[in-house]
Structure 1
Amino acid sequence: MIYIQYFLLAAATVFFSVKLASYVDMLDRKTDLSGAFIGGVMLAAVTSLPELFTSMTAVFVLDKPSLVQGNVMGSNIFNLSILGVLMIFAHKKFMKAKVAKSNSSSLLFGILMYGCAIAALNLNSDINIMGFHVDIFTIALIVIYAISVKMMNDDDSGDSDENADIALSVQQIVLRFVVFAILLVGASIILTQVSDQLTEELQLGSTVGGAIFLGVATSLPELSASVSLVRMNNFNASIGNIVGSCVFNFMILCFADILYTGSGIYMYDREAIIFAGCGIVASLITYFGLKYKKSSLFVYLAGVGIVIMYVVSIILSI
């Protein structure tokens, strides 16, 4: 029965997230915001809501910070593997796509954020700010994310010239967005509890369980949205969604660290280090895949390399 609940909740998460992504896309075409910002910040934040709320539930309901670490690190490398698969099967179209420069910059910022997360997992560097015990690397993560958002907001290099009429008004779009966001939050909270039960039943560590069950299930929105965007030949928004989600996911660690009243959100964990290390390598491969995307063969090989790193991360962590 637990397996049926898991898959039903995962399906509901995908449906709600795809609906939310469509409303964000409508807002994109009704505003003057840059495409890089829409895909890398707004859409990325929407499709990362499951990671955010499942992680908050893991911390404040289940009191398992290691589940958060596995969720964030596992979701990030799974997100990149989605892009890797798209690069493999659409490498010829990918090489011709118009992609914002800030997507590559975000990957580099993501690598810096991986470094901060690894340092936080290995060092006890808490400081007291207005009564809150916060890790110094949490502050570094917030600063890096703010810089990356600013760059995406100023980047219109990948914007499309296409514009379509939207029947709904901005108010109608926002109302529907809020409704589906609430549904997504509810499904995400229940999904965390079911994933924890499934992890215990299969006798997996909480970090590995978070990376496999939570990491995959909560990344399904990125998968669904990205595949749909590629089918519409909107590679810029697809890439921005995936890369932006990876960067935004690090903010989940920050939220948890600031609000958690326990001994601290960061703790050394072998599996988390493995996922982070493989995530850095996958990010570098993705970066060079974007930089040299004029070569169809290079894009294909980069996609294969990204998927291999995801498989390696799972094998080494079990």
Structure 2
Amino acid sequence: MSPFLPWLKLAACAALIGFAGPRLTRYGDIIARRTGLSRSWIGLVLLSTATSLPELVTGISAVTVAGAPDIAIGDALGACIFNLAILVVLDALHRDEPMYRRIEQGHILTAGFGVILIGFVGALVLLSRETPGHRLFHVSAYTPVIVVLYVVAMRAAYVYERRAAGALPPISGSEPGTTLREAVLQYAAAAAVIFAAGAWLPFVGTELADAMGWRTSFVGTLFVAASTTLPELVVTVSAVRIGAIDMAVANLLGSNLFDVLIVAVDDVAFADGPLLAAVSPVHAVSAFAAVIMSAIFIVGLLYRPETRLRGTIGWVSVSLLMVYLLSAYAIYLHGH
């Protein structure tokens, strides 16, 4: 097989996902204004779910049809660290002052739950190979715990938003003629495009690994995860352009929570036994890298640094970028 064909397919998937991203932001913001919900809540629930659809479809397809569990887990955990790396882009787009001095400190709650969920999965990646007998039928006995933790996280975020977040003012200038029903339909159409492109990605990732002679864990963590995270990147940039930075950050952190839930869904779909017992232990590197990056984000949000490197990004963003690059290099060296 020509090595160029998988790259073309990957580019096609990325183009479809990138096209639908701005529409998610546009109509998600309209839904927020029409319903009176906060942008942070819309980003945490509505946008993060829609932008994580590629990871969901990719994971299910990888474990059921493509037979590539490493791509499924690499995509889910790789998307977590890629989402946190997007914060560097978000910080760079704010040339007037560091991003961490503008966003709400309520994001600490979501980031903290991200540390719990991702760290739990990282530990399971290491432990499941040693104790594969802990299962309910073909599903890991720990998978229900992941689901419960996710529900608790979303419930806590909902309660916090009701206490702290205020409603957005009604639409006055942009999109004055768009009704709530029209916004929901347009939002669903954009989500459908992302869903279709995501279903194709695991097969493209497998072809790319074969054509280039790369390990599937590396391809899943880097290339497939980068492609399935394109909606988060596009939505982030689009949200900044309309002045909804908190919606952008909430989307990234909420996507991390949903990506961990996808691991539980993939485990149910994987018929050959507990999923985490069948994947490379190197995926724990991605999980723990995401935990470290989440902790760096929390420190930055509490400390609110003022200094920037030549007016571009601050030390928090530099630290996030370094952890991401080191984790990608480690997975390339030691992946299966």
Structure 1-normalised TM-score?
0.91
**What is the Cα deviation at residue 297 of structure 1?**
4.7
Distance change >3 Å, CA 32–CA 125, structure 1 → 2: farther
Q: What residue in structure 2 maps to residue 275 of structure 1?
A: 286
- Partner SS, residue 201 of structure 2: helix
Extract structure 1 runs of 4+ deviating beyond 6 A: none
- Secondary structure (helix, strand or coil) at the match of 2:316 reads helix
Q: Alpha-carbon deviations, 1:277-309, whole Å to 9, x = none? A: 211111110111111225345981111100111
Correspondence for 1:307: 321
Could you tell me which runs of 5 or more consecutive residues in structure 2 were left unpaired when the two chains were aligned: none
Say whether 1:177 aligns with 2:190.
Answer: no
Are residues 1:105 and 2:105 paired? Answer: no
The letter of the residue matching 1:126 is: H
Q: 1:305 to 1:98 in 2, by over 3 A?
A: closer
Equivalent in the alignment of 2:134: 126
1:289 aligns with 2:303: no
Equivalent position amino acid for 1:143 in 2: V
CA distance 1:33–1:277, shift in 2 (3 Å): same
1:127 shift after superposition: 3.2
- Contact 2:69–2:275, Cα closer than 8 Å, also in 1: yes
- Relative to structure 1, the CA distance from residue 287 to residue 125 in structure 2 (aligned partners, 3 Å threshold; closer, same or farther) is farther
Q: Deviations over 1:68-119 (max 9, x none)?
A: 1110111110110010232245261524424151x21111111111222123
- Structure 1 distance, partners of 2:243, 2:167, is 11
Contact conserved, 2:30 with 2:171, CA < 8 A, in 1? no
Out of 63-72 and 166-175, give the one that drifted further. 166-175
> CA shift at 1:39, angstroms?
0.9
Question: How far does the alpha carbon of each residue in 1:161-196 deviate from its partner, in whole angstroms, 9 at most, with x for none?
Answer: 443244222222222233332222211112221121
Moved more, 28-37 or 231-240: 28-37
TM-score (norm 2): 0.87
Partner of 2:238: 228
Counterpart in the other structure of 1:152: 157
Give the letter aligned to residue 252 of structure 1. I
Alpha-carbon spacing, 1:86–1:174, altered in 2? closer, same or farther (3 Å): closer
CA distance, structure 2, for counterparts of residue 231 and residue 296 of structure 1: 23
SS of equivalent to 1:99: coil
Residue from 118, 133, 137 that aligns with 2:142: 137
Larger displacement relative to structure 2 (151-160 or 54-63): 151-160
CA distance in 1, matches of 2:31, 2:105: 19
Instruction: Work out the percentage of aligned pairs sharing the same amino acid.
Output: 25
Judge conservation of contact 2:98–2:306 (CA < 8 Å) in 1.
Answer: no
Tell me, in whole angstroms, the C-alpha distance in 1 between the residues paired with 2:221 and 2:295.
20
CA distance in 2, matches of 1:28, 1:100: 20
8 Å CA contact 1:199, 1:206 repeated in 2? yes
Correspondence for 1:189: 199
Cα drift, residue 47 of structure 1: 0.7
**Is the 1:158–1:236 Cα contact (8 Å) retained in structure 2?**
no
Residue 125 of structure 1 deviates from its aligned partner by 5.7
| 2:79 counterpart of 1:79 | no
C-alpha contact 2:101 2:301 (8 A) present in aligned 1: no
- Cα 1:229–1:176 shift into 2, 3 Å: closer
Distance 2:294 2:93 in 1: 19
Residue 167 of structure 1 is matched in structure 2 by 177
Quick one: structure 1 residues 233 and 98, their matched pair in 2 at CA, closer, same or farther if it must change by over 3 Å? same
Distance 1:16 1:192 in 2: 19
| Separation in structure 1 between the aligned mates of residue 320 and residue 206 of structure 2, nearest angstrom | 28
With 19-28 and 156-165 compared, the bigger mean Cα shift is at 156-165
- Partners of 1:162 and 1:61 lie apart in 2 by 47
Structure 1 stretches of 5 or more lacking a match? none
Cα distance between partner residues in 2 of 1:179 and 1:90: 31
Q: Is the 8 A contact 2:44 2:254 kept in 1?
A: yes
Shift in Å at residue 21 of structure 1? 3.0
For residues 305 and 160 of structure 1, what CA distance do their matches in structure 2 show? 34
Residue type at the aligned position of 1:29: R
Q: Distance in 2 between matches of 1:136 and 1:114?
A: 17
* Residue aligned with 2:138, SS: strand
Separation of aligned partners in 2, 1:186 and 1:13: 9
CA distance in 1, matches of 2:69, 2:223: 16
Amino acid at match of 1:314: A
The match for 1:316 among 300, 317, 330 is 330
1:34-59 CA distance string (max 9 Å, x none): 43321111111111111111111111
